[in-house]
């Protein structure tokens, strides 16, 4: 399934980007957003993941994040996350650009990780900006208030209608522009501006490899589409890269 030419291309590349979405964490037990079992098939995003929703009903929004935190506290990185760590060791400039907020890439051991949509393990005060860790807003404890100023504390995640974190976005665009191979893995590639990264990479000359059990709107623009689960395909890809690297020496 992994061609020798793909393995050679990847192991010979100096700059590779792994752009990931919810599908990469599916095999860890984190529900995806879209599709028949996706979170957004049951809940409307603007009712929960937006500033409007939070200002209208902060306790409902916090209840939902407490629920997601609870799901995420019991999960572990899967073979797909771990394969990306192996790849990072084989390529001189390797970056994971993720839309996921579950912290699993970092927990797996990836070192260069740009989190475009924030991280559920961080919180901050909307009034004074003070940062708080994961334990601060414990599951089921209602709406947390800032001990320093009394302001509302919110999860450090990007909501609908909000800008992406500037530094992470800038670094991701630079990585996409410099990538020789750009892998789009486990994402429906429909949420912008994140979904523009594969197109930025392509325009700059990268080889676009997509990994997903289903085709997406990106598929026609991809140079290669590997159809299947990332927890299966990424370890095979890392094996093939290691093999290609050792035979090239
Ligand atoms: P989606 O739920 O839109 O897409 C998940 C993708 O993963 C789909 O294309 C699935 O086919 C694929 N998939 C499912 N199981 C997989 C597996 N085992 N291996 C590989 N792929 C698999 O999730 P995202 O594209 O991440 O934003 O969604 C993007 C953004 O939309 C999220 O970051 C979130 C959401 O609204 C914010 O919260 C700002």
27-53 pLDDT, tens digit per residue, is 999 888 887 777 777 777 777 899 999
d(CA 170, ligand 1 centre) in Å: 22
Walk across the sheet containing 153-157 and list its strands. Answer: 131-132, 118-125, 153-157
pLDDT at residue 33, rounded to an integer: 84
Whether the CB of 99 sits within 6 Å of ligand 1: yes
Do 224 and 144 belong to one domain?
no
Q: Which of 157, 175, 207 is the last residue of a domain?
A: 157
d(CA 139, ligand 1 centre) in Å: 24
d(CA 226, ligand 1 centre) in Å: 16
Residue with CA closest to ligand 1 atom 6: 187
Do 129 and 173 belong to one domain?
no
Whether the CB of 22 sits within 6 Å of ligand 1: yes
- The range of the structural domain enclosing residue 134 comes to 33-74+124-157
CA distances from 20 to 25, 52, 164, 236 (A): 9, 27, 16, 17
Distance between CA 34 and CA 41 in Å, rounded?
6
**Annotated catalytic residue 117:** yes
| Under-70 pLDDT residues of the chain | 137-141, 248-249
Contact of 120 with 137, CB cutoff 8 Å: no
Neighbours of 33 (CB within 10 A): 19
Residue of 162, 159, 66 lying closest to 121 (CA atoms):
66
Distance between CA 82 and CA 84 in Å, rounded?
5
Do 64 and 179 belong to one domain?
no
Residue of 182, 163, 158, 186 lying closest to 28 (CA atoms):
186
Do 66 and 141 belong to one domain?
yes
pTM of the model: 0.94
């Amino acid at each position: 399934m992994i061609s020798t030419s793909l393995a050679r291309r990847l192991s010979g590349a100096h700059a590779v980007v792994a752009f990931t979405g919810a599908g990469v964490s599916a095999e860890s037990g984190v529900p995806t957003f879209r599709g028949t079992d996706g979170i957004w098939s049951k809940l409307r995003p603007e009712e929960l993941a937006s500033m409007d929703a939070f200002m209208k009903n902060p306790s409902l929004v916090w209840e939902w994040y407490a629920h997601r935190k609870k799901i995420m506290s019991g999960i572990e990185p899967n073979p797909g996350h771990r394969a990306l760590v192996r790849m990072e060791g084989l390529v001189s400039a390797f970056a994971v650009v993720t839309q996921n907020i579950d912290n699993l890439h970092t927990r797996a051991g990836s070192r260069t990780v740009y989190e475009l949509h924030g991280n559920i393990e961080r919180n901050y005060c909307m009034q004074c900006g003070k940062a708080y860790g994961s334990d601060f807003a414990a599951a089921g404890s209602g709406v947390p208030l800032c001990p320093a100023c009394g302001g509302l504390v919110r999860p450090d995640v990007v909501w609908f209608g909000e800008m992406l974190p500037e530094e992470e976005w800038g670094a991701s665009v630079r990585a996409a522009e410099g990538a020789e191979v750009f892998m789009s893995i486990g994402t429906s590639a429909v949420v912008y501006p994140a979904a523009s990264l594969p197109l930025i990479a392509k325009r700059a000359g990268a080889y676009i490899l997509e990994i997903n059990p289903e085709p997406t709107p990106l598929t026609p623009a991809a140079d290669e589409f590997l159809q299947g689960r990332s927890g299966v395909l990424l370890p095979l890809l890392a094996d093939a890269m290691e093999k290609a690297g050792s035979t090239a020496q």
